[in-house]
Amino acid sequence: MYANEGEHSGILMERRRCARKGGGSQPQWSNRRPLIEIERVRRRATEDSGGFILAHADEQARKKQRVAPAAAPPDDDEDWFDPDSLPNDAEVALDFLRPKQAPRLVLVHHVPGVLKDRGAAERELRALAAQGKVTYLQLPTASSDVAVLGGDEYRDLLASRPAFAAFALAHAAKLYCSREELEKAGCLEGDSERVKRAALDDLRRLGFLRPRRGGQGQDAYWFAVPQGGDFARDVLAGRAALANALACAKYKEVDVSRAVPSLDRSPLGQAFHVRDLVGRGDADLLERPAGRFLRLRRR
């Protein structure tokens, strides 16, 4: 079988060396697949693919998809996503600040308390007013108390006065108007002065106009909204109650993370009056481990 005894001894020694190296009685062979097996797999893949060796992309395509493909936009509407239709920061802030009861007015100095950039907030509010989405209204409480009302809500209130609604929303960034402007816009219909005066008095009676004093002899009127006087009264009452609570406190500060007794009956809520004093610059809101404290600002 073997050519000589030395060759036979060499083969036995090689087998024993391989067995000792692998820790068993059998030699350890390589785990690579034999060439004949690789050739058999290649031929099978070639026959299945019509005579062509499958590429890596083809192999991946044959595998089952684990993730469902994303839904394609409808063919009849290519612009199915319009970034311009998204609300800006000021619109989101107004939705957050609007009270539940009508009229849903938001004081302008409340908006910077929600947004970081005060200048950007004012510019976005002006842009919304130019688009007719909000309208500015001057409250009778103070010259600095300016509120905004949603354009849709204001338009619904003026459903019976379409001419005046179009005129007011076209001048949404203004706080007042003159009688001459009302006549040019066709808001005061009538041929005689008596009929026009009656139309003007009707707008005042409904609460959409309020006389503006000190207009240098000009017959001018503030834009207003029905029940705006009740809103202004609640603002003043809550402002005075919270300011009085701060003045009577020991360290001129109140823990607003808890209910303040003097604001229990306020229809606008405690958070509204806290934002009111902070936005006006009368108090500072401090975050502490013990809670949120409102401290009266020293003059």
Q: Read off the pLDDT of residues 88-144 as tens digits, 9 standing for 90 and up.
A: 888 889 999 998 888 899 999 999 888 878 888 889 999 999 999 999 999 998 888
Is the pLDDT at 165 greater than 50? The verdict is: yes
Confidence of residue 29 (pLDDT cuts 50, 70, 90): very low
pLDDT at position 299: 65
Distance CA 234, CA 247 (A): 20
- Grouping H, G, I as helix, E, B as strand and the rest as coil, residue 178 is strand
Is there a single domain that holds both residue 125 and residue 217?
Answer: yes
Q: With cut-offs at 50, 70 and 90, classify the pLDDT of residue 65.
A: low
The confidence score (pLDDT) of residue 219 equals 85
Same domain, 154 and 193: yes
37 vs 31, which has greater pLDDT?
37
Angle at CA 256, nearest 5°, toward 253 and 260? 95
- Please tell me whether residues 102 and 167 are part of one structural domain: yes
Among 171, 200, 226, the domain-final residue is: 226
Instruction: Verify that 14 and 103 share a domain, yes or no.
Output: no
Residues 161 and 194 in one domain: yes
Are 120 and 220 found together in one domain? yes
Structural domain for 35, as ranges: 5-55
Query: Which tens digits make up the pLDDT trace of 270-282?
Result: 999 999 999 998 9
Closest CA relative to residue 110, chosen from 251, 238, 287: 238
In this predicted structure, what is the pLDDT of residue 27? 46
At 86, is the pLDDT very low, low, confident or very high (cuts 50, 70, 90)? Answer: confident
Query: How far apart are the C-alpha atoms of 232 and 237, rounded to whole Å?
Result: 9
Q: Total domain count for the chain?
A: 3
For residue 230 the two structure tokens come to 């009740």
Average pLDDT value for residue range 241-257 = 92
Between 275 and 65, where is the model more confident?
A: 275
- How distant, in Å, are the alpha carbons of 90, 109, 135, 145, 153 from that of 106? 11, 9, 11, 10, 13
The answer to whether residue 37 is domain-embedded is yes
